[in-house]
Amino acid sequence: MKSSQKKIVKLFATLLIISSFIAIYKGSYSISIIDLAFGNLEEIQEFVILNIRIPRVILAGFVGCSLALSGACLQGLFRNPLADPGLIGVSSGAALGAATSIVIGAEIAPNNYINSFFLPLSAILGSIFVIVILSIITKGFKKSNITYLILAGIAINSFAGVGIGILTYISDDAELRGLTFWSMGSFEGISWSLIIPSILLIFLTTIWTLTFSRRLDIIQLGENDAHRLGIDVKKLKKNIIISSAIIVGVSTSLVGMIGFVGLVIPHVARLLGGANHNYLLIASIFLGSSLMIFADLISRTIIQPAQLPVGLITSAIGAPFFLWLIYNMKRK
């Protein structure tokens, strides 16, 4: 990693620390930053900080990390600047799996303890299925031809939307509330018992994914050249599919569909520091976490005491960038 890239990574890491601290003390319930810094908090303030805001900020950071990292890996794997977990249908597949678990999970896994694992597992299987389908559909297309990937993503999003719509129609009131909870993306109702297994799984998968950075650089030369240079392309594809499916599936099962993070963050990191994946993956992690924490902060403070779905905030930020990206590609 170059010295300039290290400085950018340090800047993103500092931004993450600052945004996390602001998000912990800022909210509809007023807490003095001085009292927070020196630990002079009342009992109710400690409860809000320790049991509501800190778990929420930690999960927001890990979800932002997951979406940004998977976006960077999928863009490198497909050699396509528009590959994004939401745009190409991976998030929709995970959402369909999670919706299936919410509606029929109680019948398949009636035990509450087992059912708590059935939800993220269903989301992971849904995202794996979508990425495998995309790999089959786009096999053999040239690097410059992004139309087929986008069209495949549109089709997959449509099929997933139909499935989620059917599940919504047949769900009862309790299941409908569960579906509504994550349909637009939300960090409400987060607790330590819910997030600890998930963030552990995301953390371990993230560490594993970072080991692919050098091979992702080489595969940009083309699959044949990468194979001649000693890269097991099939194994690399399988590993990225599995890792992306795990982190996107777990994130989607907890907070719902949140768009544009996986598309926007890797592009911003590339514009600022370059395209080598040794830098790009780490930069995407820090910047994605910072953006998600910031978006969640906006969602719960912009119309206090009500809360907007965080997916609306990320879409409001990401959509203009997406239009600019399309316009810039047209000029090239």
Tens of pLDDT along 113-153?
555 667 778 888 888 888 788 778 777 665 545 567 777 88
Question: What single-letter amino acid sits at 126?
Answer: G
The residue ranges of the chain whose pLDDT is under 70 are: 37, 105-117, 140-147, 178, 181-182, 329-332
Residue 250 has what pLDDT?
A: 85
Cis peptide before 305 (omega within 30 of 0): yes
Architecture of domain 3-331: Orthogonal Bundle (1.10)
Buried b (16+ CB within 10 A) or exposed e, 55-79: bbbbbbbbbbbbbbbbbbbbbbbbb
Residue 48 has what pLDDT?
A: 84
Residue 227 has what pLDDT?
A: 87
Residue 107 has what pLDDT?
A: 63
Residue 286 has what pLDDT?
A: 96
Residue 111 has what pLDDT?
A: 55
Q: Could you give the residue ranges of the DSSP H alpha helices within 26-146? A: 33-38, 43-48, 54-78, 90-108, 112-137
User: Looking up tokens 């999928």, which residue turns up?
Assistant: 74
pTM: 0.85
Buried b (16+ CB within 10 A) or exposed e, 87-122: bbbbbbbbbbbbbbbbbbbeeebeeeeeeeebbbbb
Residue 146 has what pLDDT?
A: 59
Residue 330 has what pLDDT?
A: 61
Is the torsion defined by CA of 108, 111, 114, 118 positive or negative? positive
Buried b (16+ CB within 10 A) or exposed e, 178-198: bbebbbbbbbeebeeeebeeb
Residue 256 has what pLDDT?
A: 82
